[in-house]
């Protein structure tokens, strides 16, 4: 009986210490994430002016306006265009690089570092470099290939130019995650496949991809969520006077425009709520669909 009480006391002590250690994180999560979500939803039912001025309750009028606003729908299309290009290409290219750099080749640490460097570069510096590369008059890309393309001022291709920057920026992060997953795969599987006469391509699709599927799923979910929150690249690469801005601004940029430039926080909050719902729906579909292709055992 005494020994049982000791075990119970120790378990209670570990439980309390565990909660004590995660308490700062929980407090930060509630203050910085949970409360703002409910504040944003609450704000979407009001008409607001400049910051600090009174709010006028208007019910669902902001939502009615959103669904009939062509600018919102264009921003949604722009966001999906970016995500459709950035997400699959950043995952596939990073996976290929991870497989290549997981082998014992000379200088692989140097290659890994070079590919990961964009992740530690300041966003402002990244934007300045790519604005120079994409410059239609004296940009490096146009001069090297002897072409004249308005990469960031042509409304038809500007969003894809932004996607190229996004792919380049995130490759290193995705590659590191894939490298971690690849190093967890036992080498016995590949040795057995080689004995059975399987080629490298067959081993990749029948061993690497299935065993790496949990990591691929994690990267996919996080990249979809992140791509829907596109803002900084547009803000720093596309000027406000740029004719391509209408065809490149995302939902988050539109929120910034209404909330901080037009001082209409209520309508800006409504746009964010719309993005929040879309993100939830897409994430739910991914969670349901993972049962068909993700293998955790």
Report residue 142: phi and psi, to 5°. -65, -40
Tokens read off for 16:
């309390």
The pLDDT assigned to 52 comes to: 52
Q: pLDDT higher for 66 or 124? A: 66
Q: Does 49 score more than 80 pLDDT?
A: no
Mean pLDDT score of the chain, rounded to an integer?
89
Q: Directed axis angle between helix 265-289 and helix 35-43, to 10°? A: 120
State yes or no: pLDDT of 75 exceeds 90. Answer: yes
Q: What's the rounded mean pLDDT across residues 217-231?
A: 95
The pLDDT confidence band at residue 113, using thresholds 50, 70 and 90, is confident
Domain assignments of the chain as residue spans, ordered by start: 2-43, 61-292
Confidence of residue 51 (pLDDT cuts 50, 70, 90): low
Is residue 250 left, alpha or beta, with left meaning phi > 0 and alpha meaning psi from -120 to 50? Answer: beta
**CA-CA-CA-CA torsion sign (76, 80, 86, 87):** positive
Instruction: Return the pLDDT at 162.
Output: 95
Mean pLDDT, residues 31-44: 89
Whether the predicted pLDDT of 50 surpasses 70: no
Q: What is the pLDDT of residues 134-158, one digit of tens each?
A: 988 888 999 998 898 999 999 999 9
Whole-number pLDDT of residue 7: 55
pLDDT average, residue stretch 68-94 = 95
Separation of alpha carbons 4 and 22, rounded Å: 27
pLDDT of residue 248: 93
> What whole-number distance in Å separates Cα of residue 273 and Cα of residue 294?
30
Q: Tell me the fold of 61-292.
A: MetI-like fold (1.10.3720)
Q: Tell whether pTM > 0.85.
A: yes
Residue pair 163/82 in contact by the 8 Å Cβ criterion: yes
- At 268, the pLDDT band (50, 70, 90 cuts) reads very high
Mean pLDDT for the stretch of residues 109-133: 87
């Amino acid at each position: 009986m005494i020994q049982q009480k000791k075990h119970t006391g120790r378990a209670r002590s570990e439980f309390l210490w565990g909660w004590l250690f995660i308490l700062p994180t929980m407090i930060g999560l509630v203050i910085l994430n949970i409360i703002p979500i409910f504040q944003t939803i609450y704000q979407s039912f009001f008409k607001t002016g400049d910051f600090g001025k009174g709010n006028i309750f208007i019910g669902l009028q902001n939502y009615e306006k959103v669904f009939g606003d062509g600018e919102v729908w264009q921003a949604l299309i722009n966001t999906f265009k970016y995500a459709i290009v950035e997400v699959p290409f950043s995952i596939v290219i990073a996976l290929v690089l991870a497989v290549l750099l997981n082998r014992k080749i000379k200088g692989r640490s140097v290659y890994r570092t070079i590919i990961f460097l964009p992740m530690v570069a300041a966003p402002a510096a990244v934007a300045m470099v790519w604005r120079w590369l994409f410059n239609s008059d004296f940009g490096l890309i146009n001069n090297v290939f002897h072409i004249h393309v308005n990469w960031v001022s042509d409304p038809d291709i500007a969003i894809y130019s932004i996607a190229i920057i996004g792919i380049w920026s995130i490759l290193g992060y995705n590659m590191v995650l894939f490298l971690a997953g690849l190093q967890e795969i036992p080498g016995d599987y590949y040795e057995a496949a080689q004995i059975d006469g399987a080629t490298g391509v067959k081993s990749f699709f029948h061993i690497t991809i299935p065993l790496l599927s949990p990591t691929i799923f994690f990267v996919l979910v996080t990249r979809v969520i992140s791509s829907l929150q596109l803002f900084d690249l547009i803000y720093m690469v596309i000027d406000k006077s740029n004719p391509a801005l209408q065809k490149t601004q995302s939902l988050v940029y539109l929120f910034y425009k209404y909330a901080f430039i037009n001082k209409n926080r209520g309508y800006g909050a409504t746009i964010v709520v719309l993005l929040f719902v879309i993100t939830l729906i897409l994430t739910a579909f991914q969670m349901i669909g993972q049962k068909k292709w993700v293998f955790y055992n």
